[in-house]
Structure 1
Amino acid sequence: MLMYLQGLTFGLAYVAPIGMQNLFVINTALTQPRRRAFLTALIVIFFDITLALACFFGVGALMERFQWLRMLVLLVGSLIVIWIGIGLLREKPTMDQSVKVDMPLAKVAGKACVVTWFNPQALIDGTMIFGSFRASMTSAGQSTEFILGSSSASFLWFMGITVVISLFSAHFNDKVLRVINCVCGVAIIFYGAKLLLNFVELLGVL
């Protein structure tokens, strides 16, 4: 249960910062009927979770075979996590109304797929970040609980933000986005430091 909660809290901190996925969901909730907004959120959730699963278990299978890779991913991943957190604290997100959301659902799915799976930065960050968490775990049970928590976070965040914006769209502005980024930045830096500590502890064992 503890690893599930860790996966849930990290997943929320990882997915909440404002990026293309969030802007797409936010603008849909602001401008489209509620049913369309929820369908869009579900499509984004699907691609977000499948990418997380691929990054977590794909790299994890290699790390189970190669200890040096596990150490490398844990070190580099922790530094990337900390760097992302610092970047979020410095970033000033805005409500970008230029993101086009009025399109057929088939195109919505295609756009969500491209933004998620064909984004090199998302692939690299996801591989290193989720790979580093996989490297810090000692059993299959921990891994399963963690990725379930992270997947739950994706569902809760995108569905939750759709509900909130649909109900309170008039109060959603740049200042709210800035607060979200700051809170997530602090949480991500904390997790990055925790991963770096795990690397140091493993280094002492070798």
Structure 2
Amino acid sequence: MIRQVPDALTLKDQPVSLGQTVSKACIVTWMNPQAILDGTMLLGAFRITLPATEAMTFLTGVLMASGLWFLSLTGCVTAFRHAITPGILRAINILCGTVLMLYGLHLGYTFVQLF
């Protein structure tokens, strides 16, 4: 993400079907290692602290919050897509790449500290 130089957003005026949008969103979301870590370990750890009667409410809330987050993110990108230049996209990529690397280093450090 840090080294990639993004092109202009080429899909600005090309129509995309709802099925294509949903399938791409699912691929991007569920092929993301961070999503897998969050979905299994973090949510599992939170779920185990709740009584069985509250598990469904918790999971429903998580799913609704996730849907709202991605809908909001998509809405913001759609609303401001004409203002997103390759420079802005590069800055976003650098920021995201840096956060991911720092998070990975922190996880590695925490793992080493366990021994």
TM-score range, shorter chain: 0.5 to 0.7
In the alignment, does 2:96 pair up with 1:174? no
CA, structure 1 residues 188+149, in 2 after alignment: closer, same or farther (shift >3 Å)?
farther
Q: What is the Cα deviation at residue 182 of structure 1?
A: 0.9
Hey, what's the Cα distance between the residues in 2 that align with 1:148 and 1:200? 35
Q: What is the Cα deviation at residue 90 of structure 1?
A: 0.7
Question: Comparing 173-182 with 93-102, which one deviates more in the overlay?
Answer: 93-102
**Aligned counterpart in structure 1 of residue 76 of structure 2, from 134, 146, 160:** 160
Give the SS at the match of 2:107: helix
> What TM-score, normalized to structure 1?
0.38
Which amino acid is 1:131 matched to?
I
**Aligned counterpart in structure 2 of residue 191 of structure 1, from 83, 94, 103:** 103
| Percent of residue pairs bearing the same amino acid type | 16
1:136-158 C-alpha deviation (Å, 9 max, x unpaired): 56321698577665544322321
**Aligned counterpart in structure 2 of residue 131 of structure 1, from 3, 26, 36:** 36
Unpaired runs of at least 5, structure 2: 51-57
CA contact (8 A) 1:132 1:195 kept: no
| CA root-mean-square deviation | 3.6
Structure that is richer in helix per residue: 1
Q: Comparing both chains, which one has the higher relative contact order based on Cα–Cα distances under 8 Å and sequence gaps of 6 or more?
A: 2
Hey, what's the Cα distance between the residues in 1 that align with 2:109 and 2:63? 21
1:112-146 C-alpha deviation (Å, 9 max, x unpaired): 233244x5xx47633x3223233256321698577
Unpaired runs of at least 5, structure 1: 1-87
Spell out the pairing of 1:82-93 with structure 2 (5 A cutoff).
Answer: 88-93=1-6
| Count of residue correspondences | 104
Hey, what's the Cα distance between the residues in 1 that align with 2:84 and 2:21? 23
